[in-house]
Amino acid sequence: MKTIATVLGARPQFIKAATITRAIRQTEGLREVLIHTGQHYDDNMSTVFFTDLMGQAPDHNLHISGGTHGAMTGRMLEAVEGVLSQVRPDMVLVYGDTNSTLAGALCAAKMHIPVAHVEAGLRSFNMKMPEEINRRLTDHCSDLLFTPTDTADRNLANEGIESGKVHRVGDVMYDASVHFGKQAAEKGELLASLGLKDRDYILATVHRQENTDHPDRLGSILDALAAIAKEIPVLLPLHPRTRAKISATGLDQLLSKLTCVEPLGYLQMVEAERSAVVIATDSGGVQKEAFFHKVPCVTLRDETEWVELLDSGWNRLVSPAQGSKAIQNAILSARGVAGAAVEPYGLGDASDRIAQVIRAYLA
């Protein structure tokens, strides 16, 4: 029996891991140990995802959150090393581009444990983003790189990563959308509880530091959403850190114009996404989820890793630096706009393919 230690810590990773955890459980000869760093720690950002999606609590919860990037990553490195020394896994599996990702990959590499990286090869080419640093470093110390798209493959080839390490499997977020979408539709309680109607509201999410840590950008986004709310309701699930930044910059009064809620569990978020007329976000994962549900998306950033969604017309970029009016116009003009009929993210079987590649590698 081969042991895989999965290191994760943030909401998008819990969603991705749910489908792969299921595939690992169904693969003969593999067992998994779940290590939660604690990067996202409250019930809405963490506990509900393990309960709803994985049906179990993590095997190890390190309770590490807050502080600077260096301090957080350093504490995670020390704590993950302790768990890996105890578990002695045959492989460490990491997801995406968070501090938890980098800590898990770097710790394993230094302990000479093979590293597998899910969602490898994504690039924004903006080295000011912590996520870009994390994903690049993780890719270059990984032994198995699971990519979602041909663009990701090309990025890794351009950086000199051996092609034999790279496995195009498709996107595990699409797996999750297929697997959990029916459950979300069956629940269907969120809209009624908030007084919202199907295809008659905008869904918005804001959490990236490039927006929340710059009052001008954050102010432009909230000004635009408040103006839009005069015409159509705006649902805004608020990340705890975003809410704190809004309060610190004195923008609280704009929230009264919006339908603000605590972070949503995954099934509730799927319901909110499926029923929105437009999604406005700075999240990488939500951009893709919008596409999976065939909802037009406006990305509130200067660039995106998911360039195929721009090319196909399902997504459009608007920089918050352009100001409130540009954001407002981009969101309102996206209503009713469908992109091309494309399938860039595979067939919904990425998780099974990943489990089989890992099994063959460890054999």
Residue 339 to residue 272: CA distance in whole angstroms: 20
Q: What tokens does 258 get? A: 């919006």
Is residue 167 among the annotated active site residues?
no
Residue type, 104: G
Q: What tokens does 222 get? A: 């909230």
Catalytic residue among 167, 207, 239, 293: 207
**Phi and psi at residue 27, in whole multiples of 5°?**
-105, 120
160 Cβ contact list (under 8 Å, min separation 6): none
Running DSSP on this structure, what letter comes out for residue 321?
G
Residue 286 to residue 291: CA distance in whole angstroms: 9
- Which pairing describes strands 2-8 and 91-95: parallel, antiparallel, or unpaired? parallel
Q: What tokens does 295 get? A: 């909802």
Distances in whole angstroms, Cα of residue 140 to Cα of each of 105, 117, 135, 250, 356: 10, 10, 9, 42, 22
In terms of Cα–Cα distance, which of 95, 99, 143 is closest to 122? 95
Residue 270 to residue 293: CA distance in whole angstroms: 9
In terms of Cα–Cα distance, which of 122, 116, 102, 146 is closest to 285? 122
247 Cβ contact list (under 8 Å, min separation 6): none
Say if residues 169 and 354 touch (Cβ distance below 8 Å). Answer: yes
Say if residues 63 and 53 touch (Cβ distance below 8 Å). Answer: no
Task: Just list the catalytic residues.
Answer: 207
